[in-house]
Amino acid sequence: MSIDGELPKRQLAQARLGNRRGAVMEFSAADTCLDIQGLTLAYGGKTALKDLTLRIPRHRVTAFIGPSGCGKSTLLRALNRLHDLNEDVSRHGQIHLDGHDIHDPRVAVAELRRRVGMVFQAPNPFPMSIYDNVAFGLRLQGGLSKRRIDDVVEWALKSAALWDEVKGRLRASAWSLSGGQQQRLVIARTLAVEPEVLLLDEPASALDPISTLKIEELIRTLKPHLTLVLVTHNMQQAARVSDYTAFLHNGELVEYGPTDTLFTHPRLRRTENYITGRMVG
Amino acid sequence: MLLAVVAIAVFLLVEVLPLFWPDGASFPLEALWSSPDVSGEPEYRWLPHRLDDAAVPQASLAPLLWGTLEAAAWALVVAIPLALGAAAHSSLYMSPGLRARLKPTLELMEAMPSVVLGFIAGLALGPWVERHLAQSLSIVVVLPAAVVLLALGYRWLPDRLKAALTLRWAALWLIPCLLLLVWLAMSVAPMWEGWWFDGDLRLWVEESWGLDVQARNALIVGLAMGFAVIPGIYALAEDALSDVPRELAEGAQAMGATRWQTLTRVMLPVALPGVFSAIMIGAGRAVGETMIVLMASGNSALMTASPLDGLRSLASSIAIELPEAAPGGSHYRLLLLAALALFAFTFLVNTLAEVVRARLKRRFTRRKGDA
Amino acid sequence: MKIPGHTAVGMPGKRRTREGPWAWLAAASVALSLIMLGALLVLLSVKGLSNFWPATVHQLTLKSGETVIGVPLATRELPSGQGLERRYLTANRDDGGGIWRWLANDQITEDTTPEDLVVLERRHWGTFLGRLVALQSGDQRLTGPDAWTVLESRLKEINALRDERRRLTHDEILPLIRSMEDQDGHRSEDRRLADLQRRASELQQRMQGDLVVLENGQGRRQEQALAETLEAWRPNAMAWHEKLGHWVRELWQFLSQGPRDANTAGGVWPAIFGTILMVLLMSILVTPFGVLAAVYLNEVAHQGRLTRLVRIGVRNLAGVPSIVYGVFGLGVFVYGIGGSIDRWFFESTLPSPTFGTGGLLWASLTLALLTLPVVIVATEEGLSRIPLHQREGALALGATRFETLTRVVLPMATPAMLTGLILAVARAAGEVAPLMLVGVAKLAPQVPLDGEFPFLHLERKFMHLGYHIYDAAFHSSDVQAAMPLVYATALLLVTVILVLNLTAIFMRHYLRKRHGAPVRR
C-alpha cells in the first residue's frame, strides 16, 4: 500500500478515476484485486446498479453497506456471475479479476466461481455428511486421491475454526450442526477449493451474537491470505472487521473509502445520515 | 371423502368374498393362478366364458396380471427418461418465461383423452410401425446418438451461433433439429436395412429370433401410455426439484459446479423421495389405464416376454367382459376381484407417494425454521 | 489462498467446465415431448378436417384397357420393392362390393381429371363415383348440362322436404303414438294421427318420382332414385370458394346430423348431445358436494391429523383407475340401487330393466364421483389463496364465521371453483372406460331429452363422443371407411377438451396474478 503522494502520476490518475464519487483510494493498481468499471445491471427493466466504478484491494476486507434494496447484494453476486442464472439480466460495464475480464466468453464460469467463492446469508450446507460437504468442491475437480482429500478437508475445517468441534463426527449429517457451525462449514467448504476471493453475503445475519463473533474472528484470520468482500446490514460489524467500506444507495455508489475515514469523517451528508441511523431502510 | 374410498373398498370386498366361501360358487383357489392342462402341466389361461361348463375352470389371472405389468413397465420405460429429463431441464436450465409456458402445455398433454391416444396408437401408429420397422428402429437409435454428438460438437460452434442457440432455449430450437434428424433417420433406414438385415428387418426378426411382429403390441401400448403418463411424472418431479431450497443450488454453483453437477450431486439426492413418488404415481396411472391398452394391445391374453406380442390387462378385461357377465356369477366376481386388485395396488402406491411427499415438504420447512 | 503449512491443491486440467451430454439429452426430451404432442395434434387436425374437403376425382386408364374412377389416397411401396402402388377410393359398393382398390403406378397409362365426374352421397350403398347420364323426371328426360342444373335444384327441394318430414315424424307423430299407447284410443286423436300420417306420406310422395341415370367407370349404367340421394357434387368442376362452401357444409352436417351406415358415415350430433347432457348432469351433482367438502376441509375442520388423512384420501381418490369407478358404478348404482328401484316402482316392466341397466343417471353419478377430487383440490387451492387478513377483516367488523364464509370467502373463491369445475368437465368428457360399464350405447337414436314427459329420460342409454371413437374404430364393418369420421370425432373431442383446459389454465393464471401464491397448510 502506498501513500497518495508516492504514486506515479498515471496510477494516481487511475485511482482517482476509479473513485469518481468516493475518496481517493490509498492503494495502487497493482494491489487491486477486483476492478469494477462502470457496471450497470438491470433485471426485468428495473435498474439495480447504476454505473458503478470501484476497485477492491487484495488481501483486505471490503464491506458494502447500505439500506435494503440498495443493490449491495446484487453487486456481490455480480462478482462471481451468479446472475447468469437469472434470465432477463442486462449488464453494461466490466469487472476485472486480476486484470482479466470475467465476462470474457473464453472464461469458464465454473472456474471463475471456484476462484471467487461465495457464502450466503442463510447457511446452506448440502444434505450430506460434514466431510462430503467440504469435499464437494474437490470432487467436482476430480483427480484427487482419497488421502489428499482427507488432508484438504482437515485443513479447510481447521482454517474455518471448526475442526475441533466436528473432528469426531465427520460422517454426521451437516444439517445436524448448529446455525453458526453450519455457516463455518460453508466457509470451510468454500476454502477447500482455494479461492482467491471470498464473497460473504450477510454471513452472520441469521446467527446469534456468539456465533457472529466467531465468524468475524474467522474473517480477520483469513484476511492475510485472501481478498474478502462483505455485505452487511450491521454498521458495527462493518466498522469492526473491514478495512474499506463502500456505501451504496439506490444502486449508486455514494461514498467509498477506508473504513475509519468513512465512519468518522464521512464526506457526504447522506453517508453520515445513514451511519448515524437517521436514514433507515 | 374418506367415506368414498371406504365405500369403494367395502363394495368390492363384499362382492368378491363369496368367491372364496367354501359353500358358494365352487371355485378352486389355485385356479386363480393356473390350471392343469391335459398332461397335468400348469397352464395359464384366461377363458372365463367357459367357467360354468368346463370341468376345470380356466380362469387364471396370471396372464392378465402379466399383461398389466408388462404394459405398465414399457410405459415407464418410455416415460421415465423423457419426464425426468424434461423436469431436470425445466427446473435448471430453461428460461423462466419458457418454463411458465411449458408447464400448462404439458398439462394439455395430460388432458388428452386416452381413447384418442388409444385410437392413434392402435390404428395409426401401430400399423405404421409394423410396415416401417426399420425406420422406427432407426429413429430410436439415431435421435439420442445425434443429440450426444451435438452436445460434444457444441463447443466448436462459432460464438455467434452459440449465443443464439443456448441451452436456455434448447427446448424450442431443438424441435426443428430433431424433426430434421427424424427425417434423416428415416431416409437412411432402408440403406442399413439392406446392409445388415437383407432388406427386410421384419423378416429377419422373424427368422433369426422367431418373433412375429404384430401391429398392436406391447411396445406400442408402452409408447401411447408413456405419452399419457409423461406429464404427470414431469409435473410432480418438477415440483420436487423446485422445492429444493434455492440456496442449495446456488451454493453448489457458487462452488463452481456445473448445473448438471448441481443436479446430480445436490438437488437429486434431496429431491429423490419426491421424484420417486412421482414415478410411483405414474406407475399407478399406467397400471389402471384402460382405453389405451384396450385399443392398442390386441387384447390377447398371452404370457410372453416379447415386446412385439400383444397383451391383455386387468383393466381392459373388466371393460370388455363385465357388461356381459351375469351379476353374482363366478365370472362377475372374478372381474370384481381384478378391480379390487387394481384398487388396492393404486391405493397403496398413491398413499405411499403422498406420505413421502408430505414428509419431504415438512423436512424443508423444518430446516428453514432452524436456520 | 495460501496458508503456511499447506501445499496448494493445484487445479488439475481435468476440471469439468461445460454441461455434459446429459444436459442436452434432458433438453432433447422436452423437445421430443413437445414434438409428440404437436405431431398428435397435427395428425388429428389434418386427417380430421381434410375428410370434408371435396377431393379431386381421377379417371384412370389401365394397361388392361379398363377405366377406373377413384380418389387417390395412400401410396406405398410394392411388396416386390419395384415401384409404388396407390390406394384409390372407388366407392360404388353396390357394384361389386369393394370400395377400395390398390393400383400399381406403372399399370396406369392415363390419369385425367374430367370435370363431369360426379360424387353422389346416397342413403344406401354409400358414395357413388361416376358420370351423370340423364335425369328422368316423370316422362321428361334431361341430358347434358341441363340435367346437372335441374338435379342440383331438385336435390335442394328434396332435402327440404326430407327435413320437414323428419320434423313431422319426430315432433308430432311419435309423441302422439306414445300418448295413445297409454290410454284407450280417442276418436279425435285417431283422426289427428291419420291426418299427420297422410301429410307425411304426401311429403314422401313429393320427394319421389325422379330417377338419375348414372354411369360408372366401366360404362355400366344404373338408375338411382333421387329421393334416396343426399347430396351430389362435381369436385373437379368446383372453384376453390365453392369447395370451401362445400367443406363448411359438410362440417356442419357432421356436427348436426346423426350417424348412418352403422356409424361409418353421417354425423355425430347424438354423441355430442349425449356427452354434453351427461357432463351437465355430472356438474350439477359434483359441484355442491365438491365445494362443501372443500369448504369443510379448509375452513371448518380442525387442521389436524384427521384432515391430513382426509386430504391424502382425496388425492388417492384421484389416483384410483377410472375403470374401478366404473365397476363401482355398475355394482352399486346399476345393479344395487337401480335394481331396487326397478323392483319397487317398475315391477310391471320386469324382467326388462328400467333403471337396473346402464343409463344417463348412473353414468353421471359415476363420473361425478370420479371428478370429485378434481373439484375439491381446485376449490381448496382457491380457498387457501385468500389471505388471512381478509377473513380477519370481516370478523373484526362483527360478521359471524358463517357470514364471513358466505359473503367474503366464497365469492373470492368462486373463480377457483369454476376452474375446478371446468377441469372436472374436461376430465369427464374424455373418460370412456367407466361409461362402457354404466350406460353408454353404440347407437341410441333417441336422445335422452325430448318433448315427452318427463322430458329428461334419466334411465335411457346415450351416445358419447369418446365411446363413439372406440366403437367406430373397432367395431364397424369397414374400419377403413370409418377412419375419416373417427379422426374427425377424435379431433372434435380433443378440441373440446383442449378449449376447456385452456380456459381453466387462463383462469388459474389470472387468479395467481390477483391473489398470489397459495398459503400452504
Are C9 and A196 a contacting pair at CB < 8 A?
no
Minimal Cα distance from A59: which residue of C? C1
Residue C72 lies in a domain: no
For residues A130 and C192, the model is more confident at A130
Q: Name chain A contacts of B245, Cβ cutoff 8 Å.
A: 124
Mutate to test the interface with A, among C7, C9, C14, C15 (most CBs of A within 10 A): C9
Mean pLDDT of chain B: 79
Q: Would you say residue A68 lies in a domain? A: yes
- Cβ pair B255:A179 closer than 8 A: no
Residues C341 and C479 in one domain: yes
User: What pLDDT, on a 0 to 100 scale, did the predictor assign at position B39?
Assistant: 61
Mutate which: B162, B242, B255, B259, vs A, most A CBs within 10 A? B255
Q: Does C20 touch chain A (CB under 8 A)?
A: no
Looking at residue B75, what is its pLDDT? 92
C171 with C306, same domain: the answer is: no
- Only one residue has cell 449429517, namely A173
Q: Which residue has the cell 358436494?
A: C289
Distance from CA of B257 to the nearest CA of A (A): 6
C-alpha distance from residue C488 to each of A52, B45, C271, C494, C502 (Å) = 63, 39, 13, 10, 21
pLDDT digits (tens, 9 = 90+) for A199-218: 998 888 878 888 888 889 88
Residue B48 banded pLDDT, cuts 50, 70, 90: low
Whether C194 and C282 map to the same domain: the answer is: no
Q: Do A175 and B95 touch (CB under 8 A)?
A: no
CA distance B211 to B207: 8
**B262: phi then psi, degrees, rounded to nearest 5:** -55, -45
Strands C67-77 and A227-231: unpaired
Query: Looking at chain A, which residue has its C-alpha nearest residue B96?
Result: A87
CATH of the domain at C325: 1.10.3720.10
Q: Do residues C414 and C501 both lie within one domain?
A: yes
Measured between its terminal Cα atoms, the distance across chain C in Å is 47
| A-C Cβ pairs (cutoff 8 Å, strict) | 44
Q: Where residue A69 sits, what CATH number does that domain have? A: 3.40.50.300
Tell me: do C230 and C304 sit in the same domain: no
Residue with the three cell numbers 366364458: B49
Local confidence pLDDT in tens for the 521 residues of chain C: 444 444 444 444 344 556 778 888 888 899 999 999 999 999 999 988 888 888 888 888 888 878 888 888 877 777 666 778 888 888 777 777 677 788 887 888 888 888 888 888 887 777 888 888 878 777 777 777 777 888 888 888 888 888 888 888 877 777 777 777 666 656 777 788 888 888 888 888 877 777 788 887 777 788 888 777 888 888 888 888 888 888 888 888 888 877 776 666 777 888 888 888 888 889 988 988 888 888 888 877 777 788 878 888 888 888 888 888 888 888 888 888 887 887 777 766 666 666 767 788 888 888 998 898 888 888 888 888 777 777 788 888 878 888 888 888 888 888 888 888 888 888 888 888 888 888 777 666 666 666 555 666 777 778 888 888 888 888 777 777 788 888 999 999 999 889 888 888 888 777 777 765 554 44
Contacts of A249 (CB under 8 A, 6+ apart): A66, A67, A70, A270, A274
- Of all residues in chain C, the one with the smallest CA distance to A221 is C3
Range B119-133 average pLDDT: 86
User: Would you say B75 and B230 are in contact if contact means Cβ atoms under 8 Å apart?
Assistant: no
pLDDT of A176 above 70: yes
Measure CB to CB from residue C14 to each of A142, A194, A196 and give the nearest one.
A142
Range A6-25 average pLDDT: 44
> Quick check: is A37 in a domain?
no
Is C15 a domain residue? no
- Asked if the interface predicted TM-score (ipTM) of this complex is over 0.95, the answer is no
Q: Do C395 and C252 reside in the same domain of the chain?
A: no
Together in a domain, C394 and C505: yes
Domain assignment of residue A191, yes or no: yes
| Residues in chain A closer than 8 A to C20 (CB atoms) | none
Whole-number Å distance between alpha carbons of C442 and C274? 12
Residues C293 and C409 in one domain: yes
H or E element: which one contains C69?
Answer: strand C67-77
**Per-residue confidence (pLDDT) for residue A8, from 0 to 100:** 45
Total domains, chain A: 1
Nearest of C380, C391, C412, C386 to residue C310 by alpha carbon: C380
Average pLDDT over residues B259-276: 86
C396, C484: one domain: yes
Tell me whether strands C210-215 and C221-225 are parallel, antiparallel or unpaired: antiparallel
| Distance in angstroms (rounded) separating the CA atoms of residues A136 and B12 | 53
Q: How confident is the model at residue A139 (pLDDT cuts 50, 70, 90)?
A: confident
Sign, CA torsion B116/B122/B123/B129? positive
B258: contact with A, CB 8 A cutoff? yes
State residue B3's pLDDT score: 65
Report the gap between the CA of C11 and the closest CA in chain A (Å): 8
Residue B114 near residue C430 (C-beta atoms within 8 A): yes
pLDDT at res. B234 = 92
Does residue C58 belong to any structural domain of this protein? no
**Residue B311: DSSP 8-state:** B
Q: pLDDT tens digits for C47-65?
A: 888 888 888 888 888 888 7
Provide the whole-model pTM.
0.82
The answer for residues whose C-beta is within 8 angstroms of residue C75's C-beta and 6 or more apart is C84, C85, C86, C87
Q: Which residues of A touch C18 (CB under 8 A)?
A: 108
Are C282 and C340 in the same domain?
yes
C11 part of a folded domain: no
Residues C394, C438: one domain?
A: yes
B306: left (phi over 0), alpha (psi -120 to 50) or beta: beta
- How many Cβ atoms sit within 10 Å of the Cβ of residue C7? 11
Q: Report how far residue B360's alpha carbon sits from residue B357's, in angstroms, rounded to the nearest whole number.
A: 5
Q: Which of B10-24, B156-170, C126-140 has the lowest mean pLDDT?
A: B10-24
Asked whether residue C77 is assigned to any structural domain, the reply reads no
Report chain A's mean pLDDT, rounded to a whole number.
81
Q: Is B273 on the interface with A (CB under 8 A)?
A: no
pLDDT-based confidence at A81, cuts 50/70/90? confident
Tell me the pLDDT band of A228, cut-offs 50, 70 and 90: very high
A91 in any annotated domain? no
Give yes or no for a cis peptide into C351 (omega within 30° of 0).
yes
Contact B258 A110 (CB under 8 A): yes
Res C3: pLDDT: 45
Question: Domain range holding C295?
Answer: 269-515
Better pLDDT: B159 or A134 = A134
Judge whether A280 lies within some domain: no
* % of chain A at pLDDT higher than 90: 4
- Alpha-helical (H) ranges within chain B are 2-16, 62-88, 96-111, 114-119, 126-131, 133-153, 159-164, 170-196, 201-209, 218-243, 246-254, 259-261, 268-288, 291-296, 314-321, 330-370
Residue C9 domain flag: no
For the record, the C-alpha cell of B345 comes out as 395396488
CA distance C323 to chain B (A): 6
- For residue B257, which residues of chain A lie inside 8 Å, CB to CB? 110, 136-137, 140
What residues of chain C lie within 8 A of the CB of B335, using their CB? 327
Three-state DSSP at B265 gives helix
Contact assignment for A87 to B367 by CB distance below 8 Å: no
pLDDT band at B248 (very low <50, low <70, confident <90, very high): confident
- Name the residue in chain C with its Cα closest to that of A149: C9
Mutate to test the interface with C, among A145, A223, A225, A227 (most CBs of C within 10 A): A225
pLDDT of B21 reads 53
Dihedral, CA atoms, C448, C454, C455, C459, nearest 10 degrees? -10
Residue A230 lies in a domain: yes
Those residues with Cβ within 8 angstroms of residue B138's Cβ, 6 or more apart along the chain or in another chain? B185, B186, B188, B189, B192
C chain contacts of residue A157, beta-carbon cutoff 8 Å: none
By Cβ distance, the residue of B86, B318, B349 closest to C327 is B318
Q: How far apart are CA B45 and CA B57, in angstroms?
A: 9
Q: Which helix (H) or strand (E) holds C103?
A: strand C100-104
Tell me, yes or no, whether A110 lies in a domain.
yes
Whether C388 and C294 map to the same domain: the answer is: yes
Sign of CA dihedral A117, A118, A123, A128: negative
Which range of residues forms the domain containing residue A259? Answer: 57-86+104-275
Residue B299, SS3 per DSSP: coil
pLDDT for the residue numbered C73:
81
Among candidates B361, B357, B360, B359, which has minimal Cα distance to B278?
Answer: B357
Closest CA to A131 of A198, A199, A192, A221: A192
Which residue from C43, C32, C320 is spatially nearest to B230, judged by alpha carbons? C32
Q: Determine phi and psi for C81, rounding to 5 degrees.
A: 90, -5
Question: Among residues A229, A234, A239, which one has the least CA distance to residue A262?
Answer: A239
Of B252, B256, B270, the CB nearest to A111: B256
How far apart are alpha carbons B145 and B159 in whole angstroms? 24
Determine the residue of chain A that is closest to B366 in CA distance: A175
Residue C38 lies in a domain: no
Q: Residue B51: its pLDDT value, please?
A: 58
Taking the C-alpha atoms of residue B174 and residue C232, their distance in angstroms, rounded to an integer, is: 48
Give the residue, A158 or C512, on which the prediction is more confident: A158
State phi, psi for A36 to the nearest 5 degrees.
-105, 125
Cross-chain Cβ contact A120/B247 below 8 Å: yes
In the 3-class helix/strand/coil scheme, how is chain A assigned residue by residue? CCCHHHCCHHHHHHHHHCCCCCCCCCCCHHHEEEEEEEEEEEECCEEEEEEEEEEEECCCEEEEECCCCCCHHHHHHHHCCHHHHCCCEEEEEEEEECCEECCCCCCCHHHHHHHEEEECCCCCCCCCEHHHHHHHHHHHHCCCCHHHHHHHHHHHHHHCCCHHHHHHHCCCEHHHCCHHHHHHHHHHHHHCCCCCEEEEECCCCCCCHHHHHHHHHHHHHHCCCCEEEEECCCHHHHHHHCCEEEEEECCEEEEEEEHHHHHHCCCCHHHHHHHCCCCCC
Check pLDDT > 90 for residue B80: yes
Q: What residues of chain B lie within 8 A of the CB of A105, using their CB?
A: 159
Q: How many domains does chain C have?
A: 2
